[in-house]
Amino acid sequence: MIRPLRLGIAGLGTVGTGVVNIIRNHAGMLQLRGTCPVGISAVSARSKSRNRGVDLSGTAWEDDPVALATRDDVDVFVELMGGADGPALAATKAALAAGKHVVTANKAMLAHHGQTLAEAAESASVNLRFEAAVAGGIPVIKVLAEGLVGNRITRIMGVMNGTCNYILTRMETAGLPYEEAFAEAGALGFLEADPNLDVGGIDAAHKLVLLAAVGFGTRVDFASAELQGIGTISIEDIETAAELGYRIKLLGVAAMGDAGLEQTMMPALVPCNSPLGRLEGGTNMVVIEGDSVGQVVLRGAGAGQGPTASAVVGDVMDIARGIRLPVFGQAAASLVKAEPARSSARSAWYIRLALRDRAGTLARLAGALSEAGVSIDRLRQKAHANDSAPVVIVTHPARRTRIDAVLEAISATGDATTPPIALRIVEM
């Protein structure tokens, strides 16, 4: 008789119960698709008495996830608790030290401790899999590490936070100001307990740095990621972008250049008719560009019980089939520490200004642009508001450093009544 692959599941929230349901409801199918049955030996969560809508009778319970991770009847520790540190990290380290495979959906833990955990897993000759940590049900880690292994990846970009995409979509389609769209997302339960994880770009940046590590063979470096949330985006920005043929998205971009690794998570303008521009609501999209394959676009549900649990079970089944891969696609010891870099690529920029209504203001603006070597493609000046004149500039392609010089010069003149907003225009 073939011995089953025995799971210990820590965390029985939305995703954890989804995993239990898939394992129970599709047991026969999973056995046919793997090399052995898959079963659940034990579970752990904060409350044993809570009704989770799944039958856990006959399944052992551990109050301590570390104890669960080291049980003799657990082959794979499934970590679904969340949190960069604390019990999740302690239990994951214990599982790897005990020679257990680990499957996790914990992007924050891997973004901060990925290199250490990868080294521990590979030293113990076990798997550490994390498909569910990035873009929910989209199998982007598998695509990067396996399907595109013959490519030199040139750029990875995408919309990887459904909450931000929902807020920006509602601002556009319903004409809501940011504050109202944010409140609506909160009422629907879309926001994290700390909303800044979503709207500040932190959650999405955790995912981006993991993709960068796999795509470019670099050590995970969340500290070097450049973040800008969506809180500064106004309804006027949304409307003006639409008039210009663009939509605003919280866009992650990772690219390796001569100066080093760019990892940015910032609002950007994308063409309305592009795959990213057509993305609605809470859906995620990841775009991968390789030297041989060209451009690959992956789209799907980025969160939710079914999609995320599906990704967890996919990793479990690879382990059941005996597949063992380096955590980030190549040996952890070979991952390089990349030099952090700001984007060196030339692109057009959207600059929104509120300028004082006084003599010489536009002349000084023109001087700042000329001094930095930035030329104007389009300029729009809208109706005055009090003593402030709203101005929107779309530049011809320019490097980020030149745009920064323009913003610094404008701020130095004292002509701006509010801090200037500059958003990159990303073509696909």
Could you give the CA distance from residue 256 to residue 251 in angstroms, rounded to a whole number?
17
More confident call, 275 vs 35: 275
User: What is the three-class DSSP state of 314?
Assistant: helix
**Using CA atoms, how far apart are residues 419 and 177, in angstroms rounded to an integer?**
19
Catalytic site includes residue 100: no
Quote the CA–CA distance of 225 and 129 in Å, as a whole number.
23
The DSSP annotation for 17-29 comes to HHHHHHHHHTHHH
Q: What is the mean pLDDT of residues 171-181?
A: 92
- pLDDT of 384 > 80? The answer is no
pLDDT of 6 strictly over 70: yes
Give tens-digit pLDDT for 234-265: 999 999 999 999 999 999 999 998 889 999 99
- Tell me the pLDDT tens digit for each residue of 269-310: 999 999 999 998 888 999 999 999 999 999 998 888 899 999
pLDDT band at 230 (very low <50, low <70, confident <90, very high): very high
Radius of gyration of the chain (CA): 24
Predicted confidence band at 339 (pLDDT cuts at 50, 70, 90)? very high
CB 68 within 8 A of CB 10: yes
What is the pLDDT averaged over residues 133-139? 92
pTM listed for this prediction: 0.93
Alpha helix positions (H), 143-266: 162-173, 178-187, 196-199, 202-216, 235-243
Q: Is the pLDDT of residue 364 over 80?
A: yes
- All domains of the chain, ordered by start, with CATH? 5-133 (3.40.50.720), 140-302 (3.30.360.10), 349-425 (3.30.70.260)
CA triple 36-37-40, angle to 5 deg: 135
Q: Average model confidence (pLDDT) for the chain?
A: 93
pLDDT at 385: 66
pLDDT in the model for residue 311: 96
Query: Each residue of 156-166: pLDDT tens digit?
Result: 999 999 899 99
Question: Which entry of 100, 107, 142, 207 is annotated as an active-site residue?
Answer: 207
Q: Strand 101-104's sheet: what is its strand order?
A: 60-61, 38-44, 5-10, 76-79, 101-104, 128-129
